[in-house]
Amino acid sequence: MTTRTIEFREALREAMSEEMREDLRVFLIGEEVAQYNGAYKVSRGMLDEFGPKRVIDTPISESGFAGMSIGAAMMGLRPIVEFMSWSFSLVAADPILNNAPKMLYMSGGQFGCPIVFRGNDGAGGQLGSTHSWCVESMFANVPGLKMAIPFTPYDAKGLLKTAIRDDDPVFFLESERLLSIEGEVPEESYTVPFGQALIRRPGTDCTIVSFGRPLYFCLEAAKTLAQEGIECEVIDGRTIKPLDIDTIVASVRKTNYCVVVDQSWSFASVGSEIASQVHQHCFDDLDNHVMRVHNDDVPAPYAYNLEQEMLPNARKICEAVRAVTYNA
């Protein structure tokens, strides 16, 4: 397989463009996706290739265009809805939570909703609380949707292609902080299946589970901890729904310790859910309870130092791993 190095945002663009070439039912809609080339340049050039009827600029009207796209999906189109930020999806809570994930059920199997909602999730960089939402815990609570959080350009492309082809609604959570990172991506078409976690770093002493951007903090922490003689196994869950608990459990059975790193807030979170499931499956394997590292339980602050401190950063992960393995 021939590969080349491209940016995360280019990987996203390739996924959308390839699927739009393959399937006329697929279209991209959102604020500034067309003439502006994307607020974050993810859709650069797509207007030129596909024209304004398939790359569609909307007014700032998330509730309206999310709901409208759901109506289109009920009829069998396959919309890709870009939220400039998932923070802005909150004004569209009713359509994305009440309509998209429940349409199939409420209609007794008559109307599915093959739609992708995608955009930046998590703290961008000193954007303050309203723009720094991590929606994964809140939205993963809702049955009927799937949720993917890519970590590398390879996964960004492969998971997004899977999301677009999926017949169920997919919440696709990207990170503004990752859009410019580069990675190896094959020239050939490929997909990454949902529900298959990946071991990003093998290790024997403690399992660290995370999704998306915090995996960088995890890998950084793992490097530091290795110098202390603690070899961490870092697992990239890739999709929160469906969750590949089997890969996590297999790792914890080997290491006997587990730290979950989740960039959303701790109370009733993805992190607490994974910790609960690990306790359920690995009760006899664990040599300590599962520990969790989250955003601090405060609104995201503006000041640089405060924001860095709030994040589930490498220092906090190191502290958690040392504590859970009795090396504190």
Partner 1 sequence: MTTSSKPDITPQSASLKAKGPSTDLLKQWLRDMLLIREFEVRTMQAYQNKKIGGFCHVYIGQEAVAVGCTAALEPNDPVVTAYRDHGHALARGMDPKYGMAEMFGRIGGCAKGKGGSMHFFDKEHHMYGGHGIVGAQTPLGAGLAFATKYEDEIINGGVSNRVTLSFLGDGALNQGSFHEAQNLAGVLDLPVIFVCENNGYSMGTAISRGTTMGHDITSKAAGYGFDSAVIEGMDVIEVYEGMKAVVDKCRETSRPAFVDMRTYRFKGHSMSDPRKYRTKEEEQQYAQDDPIDKLANELMNNRGLSRDEYDVMAKEVKKQIREATKWAEASPIPDIEELYRDVYVEKFGPYSGTSLPAMLED
Residues that bind partner 1 (CB under 8 A): 24-25, 27, 53-54, 56, 58-59, 61, 63-77, 94-95, 98-99, 103-112, 114, 143-144, 146, 166-168, 195, 242
Contact 176, 40 (CB under 8 A): yes
Residue numbers annotated as active site: 62, 131
DSSP reduced 3-state for 89: helix
CB of 53 to partner 1, least distance (A): 6
3-state secondary structure (DSSP) of residue 28: strand
CB of residue 137 vs partner 1: minimum separation in angstroms?
A: 19
User: Which residue lies nearer to partner 1 by CB, 119 or 124?
Assistant: 119
Instruction: Spell out the residues 6+ positions from residue 175 whose beta carbon is closer than 8 angstroms to its own.
Output: 120, 121, 122, 212, 213
Nearest 5°: CA angle at 87, between 84 and 92?
Answer: 85
Nearer to partner 1, 110 or 305 (CB): 110
Are residues 216 and 201 in contact, defined by beta-carbon separation less than 8 angstroms? no
* DSSP codes joined into one string, 2-14: -EEEEEHHHHHHH
- Which residue's CB is nearer to partner 1, number 7 or number 62? 62
In DSSP notation, 273-328 reads: HHHHHHHHHHTTT-SS--EEEEE-SSPPPSSHHHHHHHS--HHHHHHHHHHHTT--
Cα separation, 213 vs 263, in Å, equals 8
Least Å from the CB of residue 316 to partner 1: 31
Minimum separation from the CB atom of position 109 to partner 1 (A): 4
Cβ 237 to partner 1 shortest distance, Å: 15
* Residue 102 or 254 with smaller CB distance to partner 1: 102
Q: Which is nearer to partner 1, 8 or 50 (CB)?
A: 50
Residue 132 CB, shortest distance to partner 1, in Å, is: 24
| Structure tokens, 224 | 């530091």
Of 225, 241, 245, 213, residue with least CA distance to 313: 213
Cβ proximity to partner 1: between 71 and 128 the closer is 71
Q: Which two tokens stand for residue 297?
A: 């339980």
- Please count the other Cβ atoms lying within 10 Å of the Cβ belonging to residue 313: 17
| Tokens of residue 9, six digits | 């945002």
122 near 213, Cβ under 8 Å?
A: yes
